[in-house]
Amino acid sequence: MLSALTQLLVFQLAGEIVARWLALPVPGPVLGMLFLFVALALRGGPGDELQSTSQNLLQHLSLLFVPAGVGIMVHLHRVADEWLPLLLSLVISTAATLVVTALVMKLLMPARTMPGETP
């Protein structure tokens, strides 16, 4: 657990440093994810420890969004003036994005892949 958590932090730190150094538009942790992915490919997979730690962390990924979500209360007044166009835009656009992405992927799906098949 401790060594896995340390690994994750080291990759995040590497991501932060590179993102800032090269002034990339991608946040450090996302770059860290890319670095860890490359490391896993080179290493031939995560060890048991990293596997179980990341599984634990991701199982409760929703929890990690709660503090930022509560932040809505501070900025809610910004939404108040134009709440109707904002609400319509968010609902319609989110639905449209789900439909378009899923439809395009479905049309381009290779014929032989069975839905739900695990590689």
Q: Shortest distance, CB of residue 21 to another protein, whole angstroms?
A: 16
Largest CA distance in the chain: 53
Question: Which residues are CB-neighbours of 73 under 8 A, at least 6 positions away?
Answer: none
Separation of alpha carbons 56 and 96, rounded Å: 32
> Which C-beta is closer to another protein: that of 21 or that of 116?
116
| Residues 14-33 close enough to bind another protein by CB under 8 A | 15, 25-30, 32-33
| Residues 93-112 close enough to bind another protein by CB under 8 A | 93-110
Give the single-character DSSP code of 116.
T
Separation of alpha carbons 37 and 14, rounded Å: 13
> Which C-beta is closer to another protein: that of 22 or that of 108?
108
| Residues 33-92 close enough to bind another protein by CB under 8 A | 33-37, 40-41, 45-46, 50-51, 53-55, 57-76, 78-79, 82, 84-86, 88-92
